[in-house]
């Protein structure tokens, strides 16, 4: 058994590294070491692209239909909140959005028609409602449903100012992400 040696690949061009073997003694030049390192890098890069494809294949399909709203003012906010939640989740790489445009928007306080949502291929369903209260605060509720099991995963209600809809969207996306992926994620954090 021969001792391990560390290789300094940044040395002079004529530097050689000798490899000991029981059968032969062959010098390995810096060029050979770079070729070996390049081959190893290519193998790792190929493995990484395969892992990315595998993760995309495992992405959770989530349906995010329009959020219910009580007025024209809250309707625009609801549309913006829903869109940003979708962008956050899709951008994480763990979720893909299922087409939910052909189905009737379910109510937050009632179980959705799971059979219809199963037909979309969705694994999860997010149902939400935005309402502007009399004191000009925005009330947001959402429920996350497991479509296959027909069960609610979670439900939350938030109160905030109407100008803080972006923070609200990120908070909802972070809550969904943490519940499904099992790791905390702050979509509101600045990169």
Q: Tens place of pLDDT for every residue, the chain, 191 residues?
A: 333 333 333 333 333 333 333 444 445 555 545 455 555 555 544 444 434 444 445 799 999 999 998 887 788 999 999 999 999 999 999 999 998 877 777 888 899 999 999 989 999 999 999 998 888 899 999 999 999 999 999 999 999 998 999 999 999 999 999 999 999 998 877 55
At residue 148, the 3 state secondary structure works out as coil
At residue 153, the 3 state secondary structure works out as strand
How far is it, in rounded angstroms, from Cα 105 to Cα 143?
A: 13
At residue 120, the 3 state secondary structure works out as coil
- pLDDT number for residue 30: 55
Residue 12, token pair as written in the block: 């002079």
How far is it, in rounded angstroms, from Cα 99 to Cα 118?
A: 11
How far does CA 85 lie from the centroid of its chain?
11
Is 41 exposed, middle or buried, given 0-12, 13-18 or 19+ CB atoms closer than 10 A?
exposed
Task: Report in angstroms the alpha-carbon separations of 51 from 37, 46, 55, 185.
Answer: 21, 9, 6, 21
Q: At what angle do helices 72-91 and 165-181 cross, to 10 degrees?
A: 40
How far is it, in rounded angstroms, from Cα 129 to Cα 182?
A: 25
- pLDDT number for residue 57: 53
């Amino acid at each position: 058994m021969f001792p391990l040696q560390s290789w300094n690949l940044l040395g002079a061009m004529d530097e050689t590294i000798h490899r000991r073997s029981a059968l032969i003694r062959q010098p390995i030049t810096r060029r050979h070491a770079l070729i070996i390192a390049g081959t190893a890098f290519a193998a790792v890069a190929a493995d990484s692209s395969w892992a990315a494809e595998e993760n995309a294949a495992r992405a959770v399909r989530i349906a995010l239909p329009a959020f219910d709203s009580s007025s024209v003012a809250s309707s625009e906010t609801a549309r913006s909140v829903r869109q940003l939640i979708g962008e956050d989740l899709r951008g994480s790489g763990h979720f893909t959005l299922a087409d939910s445009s052909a189905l009737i928007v379910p109510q937050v306080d009632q179980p959705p028609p799971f059979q219809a949502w199963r037909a979309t291929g969705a694994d999860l369903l997010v149902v939400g409602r935005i309402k502007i209260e009399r004191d000009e605060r925005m009330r947001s509720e959402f429920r996350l449903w497991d479509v296959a099991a027909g069960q609610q995963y979670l439900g939350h209600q938030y109160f905030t100012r109407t100008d803080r809809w972006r923070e609200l969207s990120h908070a909802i996306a972070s809550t969904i992400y943490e519940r499904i992926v099992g790791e905390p994620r702050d979509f509101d954090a600045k990169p």
